[in-house]
Amino acid sequence: MGAQQVREGFEALFGAAPDGVWAAPGRVNLIGEYTDFNEGFVMPLALPHTAVAAVSRRDDGVLRIHSADIEGPVVELHVDELAPLTNTSWAAYPAGVVWVLREAGHAVTGADIHLASTVPTGAGLSSSAALEVVTALALNDLFDLGLSGPELARVSQRAENDFVGVPCGIMDQTASACSTEGHALHLDCRDLSIRQVPFDLPAHGLRLLVVDTRVKHALGDGEYAERREGCEEGARLLGVPFLRDVRYEDLEASLARLSDERVRRYVRHVVSDDHRVDEVIALLDAGDVRGIGPILTAGHASLRDDLRISCPELDLVVATANEAGALGARMTGGGFGGSAIVLVESADADTITKAVEEAFAAAGFTAPRVFPAVPSEGARRLS
Ligand code: ADP
Ligand code: MG
């Protein structure tokens, strides 16, 4: 939905024009999965799909939130009464941002918010981060908070961690807040330093496809927390603060010191995926975009066999796409459903898409949704 439609929706709901309209994108992660909470490296890129919010500031403590995508009335809250983990509806994401800003001492005194999003929800494409970041950016502008992109990402992550109650890392919000068009974002999750890495696929005759399997992930079922705990256990057993601190050169020796088979698998995944981020960066810097294909596929095998967060639908996308001539493919995001990415020659995009669709039909799976991941701009003001 475009800025104009969201603006009109706001006016119809609240009876006045909004102070402004802002957008924040969803993302796919190119490489570096489950590495962010290990203080390692990730490399997401922003999608053209965005959450768009029309917002006006208020000075009377009232917070009114509405989504064009959700049946139901305007959610009306009071900024003084926001309390973490009490609001289980979708409105907790934007409300959480208000709560975090106020906890940090910012005088955010209320707002009217009407939003709509083209980011598919629960597809591993970070529709939740888009919602948080668009709210944070709008409030940053309307209340003159002066926060930077990385700071807005931090605020948004805290909203999701502490207010909504989802223990996510910093990747999704940073991708949404800080990405630039035509680039992937290399993020060091320790010092939060960012490098924009040129990722101009059309110039190389390539396309990155997103395949949304339509299988809804449910990270609330404790799988994410279990992986996280296993990684922390690995770091503790190896005597390092985080798995980021295990050097790739020392991986085999480190694994030999671990007797727990589960912890060994998790350590191998995290340390090797951090290394795969380095490999991808080196190839992109050298202009060898095709060269990253096998690394994506190796990353998938690691997520499937070592971290064990894939599912039959994601595995089928990767196997089918590669058999049909893709350069490489992997699941992306939290796993247990959601989306995969597939790197293809532009000329092969249709054939490979068809092969995946046919394989899904033959397996009796719900038809997947396939679209190109065009590296897009991060959060911005539209009007
Ligand atoms: P993901 O971030 O991978 O899409 P999450 O489970 O983290 O999946 O976030 C999805 C949730 O975010 C939805 O269940 C809903 O609560 C909220 N959400 C996302 N987009 C919208 C929207 N357009 N309107 C209202 N709520 C939304
Ligand atoms: Mg999310």
Q: What is the ipTM of this complex?
A: 0.99
Q: Ligand 1: does its nearest atom lie under 6 Å from the Cβ of 93?
A: yes
- Closest ligand to Cα 338: 1
Q: Which atom of ligand 1 is nearest to the CA of 129?
A: 2
The answer to whether 118 and 126 are in contact (CB under 8 A) is no
Q: What CA–CA distance (Å, rounded) separates 52 from 119?
A: 10
pLDDT number for residue 216: 81
Task: Extract the tokens encoding 199.
Answer: 């990722």
Residue with tokens 């290394």: 275
Q: 141 CA to middle of ligand 2, Å?
A: 24
Torsional class of 316: left (φ above 0), alpha (ψ -120 to 50), beta (otherwise): alpha
**Best of 33, 74, 128, 214 to mutate for ligand 1, by most ligand atoms within 8 A of CB?**
128
Which pLDDT belongs to residue 253? Answer: 98
Q: Model-level pTM?
A: 0.96
Whether 157 is in the pocket of ligand 1, judged by its Cβ within 6 Å, is: no
Residue 80's CB is within 10 A of a number of other CB atoms, namely: 10
Angle between helices 127-142 and 149-158 (to 10 degrees): 120
Q: Parallel, antiparallel, or unpaired: how do β-strands 111-117 and 44-57 relate?
A: antiparallel
Tell me the HSE value of 125 on the side-chain side, using a 13 A CA sphere: 31
H helix intervals, the chain = 3-14, 92-103, 127-142, 149-158, 171-178, 223-238, 251-256, 261-285, 293-302, 312-323, 349-363
Residue 58: the pLDDT is: 98
Ranges of residues in the chain whose predicted pLDDT is under 50: none
Q: At 13, phi and psi to the nearest 5? A: -75, -50
Task: Please enumerate in sequence order all residues whose Cβ is within 8 A of that of 159, keeping only pairs 6 or more positions apart, or say none.
Answer: 93, 96, 97, 99, 100, 132, 136
- Strand order of the β-sheet with 111-117 is 75-78, 62-67, 111-117, 44-57, 20-29, 380-381
CA dist., res. 46 & res. 24, Å (int): 9
Query: Which residue in 213, 219, 201, 244 sits closest to 165, CA to CA?
Result: 219
Report the nearest-CA residue for atom 6 of ligand 1.
Answer: 122
Dihedral sign (CA 139, 131, 47, 329): positive
Which residue of 1, 69, 126, 131 sits with most ligand 1 atoms within 8 Å of its CB, as the best mutation to test the pocket? Answer: 131
Integer angstrom CA distances of residue 301 from 24, 63, 290, 309: 31, 46, 19, 10
Q: Tokens 């009071």 map to which residue?
A: 78
- Please report the atom of ligand 1 found closest to the CA of residue 219: 6
pLDDT at residue number 170: 95
Active site residue 141: no
What residues form the annotated binding site for Mg(2+)?
128, 160
- DSSP label at 83? -
